[in-house]
Amino acid sequence: MAAASTTNARSAQRRGALRLPATRFDKRLGEILNHATDVFCRKGYEGASMRDLSRASGMSLAGLYYYFQSKERLLFLIQKHTFTTIVERLKARLEGMSNPEQRIRILILNHLEYFLSNQAAMKVLSHEDDALKNGFASEVAAIKREYYRICVGLLDELKHERGLQFSTRIAVLSLFGMMNWIYTWHNSRVDADADELARQMSEIFLRGVMNGGRARR
Amino acid sequence: MAAASTTNARSAQRRGALRLPATRFDKRLGEILNHATDVFCRKGYEGASMRDLSRASGMSLAGLYYYFQSKERLLFLIQKHTFTTIVERLKARLEGMSNPEQRIRILILNHLEYFLSNQAAMKVLSHEDDALKNGFASEVAAIKREYYRICVGLLDELKHERGLQFSTRIAVLSLFGMMNWIYTWHNSRVDADADELARQMSEIFLRGVMNGGRARR
DNA sequence: GACCCATTCGAACGTTCGTTCGAATTCAGT
DNA sequence: ACTGAATTCGAACGAACGTTCGAATGGGTC
For residue A5, name the pLDDT band (cuts at 50, 70, 90).
very low
When pLDDT is averaged across residues B166-189 and rounded to a whole number, the result is: 97
For residue A211, name the pLDDT band (cuts at 50, 70, 90).
confident
What pLDDT is stored for residue B15 in this prediction? 42
| 3-state SS class at A46 | coil
Q: Of B46, B181, B208, which is closest to A177 when you measure between CB atoms?
A: B181
Q: Of A46, A200, A215, which is closest to B167 when you measure between CB atoms?
A: A200
When pLDDT is averaged across residues B128-151 and rounded to a whole number, the result is: 97
Lowest-pLDDT range of A27-31, A131-135, B13-17 = B13-17
Check pLDDT > 90 for residue B118: yes
Check pLDDT > 60 for residue A19: no
pLDDT tens digits for range A39-60: 999 999 999 999 999 999 999 9
When pLDDT is averaged across residues A206-216 and rounded to a whole number, the result is: 71
Which amino acid is it at B87?
A: V
- Among protein residues, the one whose C-alpha sits closest to the C1' atom of D8 is B63
Lowest-pLDDT range of A101-105, B14-18, B83-87 = B14-18
Check pLDDT > 90 for residue B110: yes
Q: What is the distance in angstroms measured between the alpha-carbon CA of B132 and the sugar C1' of C8?
A: 36
pLDDT tens digits for range B51-98: 999 999 999 999 999 999 999 999 999 999 999 999 999 999 999 999
Across all strands, nucleotide nearest B68 (CA–C1'): C19
Q: Of A44, A173, A201, which is closest to B185 when you measure between CB atoms?
A: A173
Q: What is the distance in angstroms measured between the alpha-carbon CA of A50 and the sugar C1' of D17?
A: 9
For residue A17, name the pLDDT band (cuts at 50, 70, 90).
very low
Q: Which of residues 22 to 61 on A have a Cβ less than 7 angstroms from any strand C atom?
A: 23-25, 28, 59-61
- Sorted by where each begins, the domain ranges of chain A are 1-69, 71-217
Query: What does the alpha-carbon distance between residue B90 and residue B100 come to, in Å, rounded to a whole number?
Result: 14
Q: Which CATH class is domain A71-217?
A: mainly alpha
CATH topology of A1-69 equal to that of A71-217?
no
Check pLDDT > 50 for residue A213: no
Q: Of A166, A192, A204, which is closest to B174 when you measure between CB atoms?
A: A204
Check pLDDT > 60 for residue B5: no
When pLDDT is averaged across residues B106-126 and rounded to a whole number, the result is: 98
CB spacing of B208 vs A208 below 8 angstroms: yes
| Chain B residues inside the 8 Å CB shell of A176 | 181
Q: Hey, how many other C-beta atoms are within 10 angstroms of the C-beta on A176? A: 21
Strand D contacting residues by CB (7 Å)? A 48-52, 61-62, 65, 69-72; B 10, 23-25, 28, 59-63, 65-67
Q: What are phi and psi of B66, to 5 degrees?
A: -75, -25
What pLDDT is stored for residue B211 in this prediction? 74
Q: What is the distance in angstroms measured between the alpha-carbon CA of B5 and the sugar C1' of C21?
A: 26
Q: Of A127, A177, A208, which is closest to B203 when you measure between CB atoms?
A: A208
Q: Which of residues 70 to 129 on B have a Cβ less than 7 angstroms from any strand C atom?
A: 70-72
| Chain C footprint bases within 7 A of protein beta carbons | 6-12, 16-22
When pLDDT is averaged across residues A205-211 and rounded to a whole number, the result is: 92
When pLDDT is averaged across residues B144-173 and rounded to a whole number, the result is: 97
What pLDDT is stored for residue B86 in this prediction? 98
- Among protein residues, the one whose C-alpha sits closest to the C1' atom of C8 is A63
CB spacing of A207 vs B206 below 8 angstroms: no
Buried b / exposed e over A24-33, threshold 16 CB at 10 Å, is: ebbeebbebb
| Chain B residues inside the 8 Å CB shell of A115 | none
Q: Hey, how many other C-beta atoms are within 10 angstroms of the C-beta on A95? A: 7
Is some CB atom of chain B closer than 8 A to the CB atom of A214?
no
What pLDDT is stored for residue B105 in this prediction? 98
Q: Hey, how many other C-beta atoms are within 10 angstroms of the C-beta on A98? A: 8
What pLDDT is stored for residue B22 in this prediction? 74
For residue A2, name the pLDDT band (cuts at 50, 70, 90).
very low
Query: What does the alpha-carbon distance between residue B21 and residue B40 come to, in Å, rounded to a whole number?
Result: 27
Check pLDDT > 70 for residue A198: yes
CB spacing of A215 vs B200 below 8 angstroms: yes
What pLDDT is stored for residue B212 in this prediction? 57
Containing H/E element for B13?
Answer: helix B9-17
* Residue numbers of A between 122 and 161 with CB closer than 8 Å to B: 127, 129, 131
Which amino acid is it at B192?
A: A
What pLDDT is stored for residue A212 in this prediction? 57
What pLDDT is stored for residue B107 in this prediction? 98
| Whole-number Cα distances in Å, B19 to A86, B10, B28, B74 | 60, 15, 18, 26
Alpha carbon dihedral B28, B33, B39, B40, in 10-degree steps, equals: 160
Percentage above 90 pLDDT, chain B: 85
The separation between CA A139 and the C-alpha centre of its own chain, rounded to angstroms, equals: 14
CB spacing of A205 vs B204 below 8 angstroms: yes
Q: Which CATH superfamily is domain A1-69 in?
A: Homeodomain-like (1.10.10.60)
Alpha helices in B95-188 (DSSP H): 100-117, 119-127, 134-162, 168-180
| Chain D footprint bases within 7 A of protein beta carbons | 6-12, 16-22
Across all strands, nucleotide nearest B23 (CA–C1'): D6
Query: What does the alpha-carbon distance between residue A19 and residue A13 come to, in Å, rounded to a whole number?
Result: 12
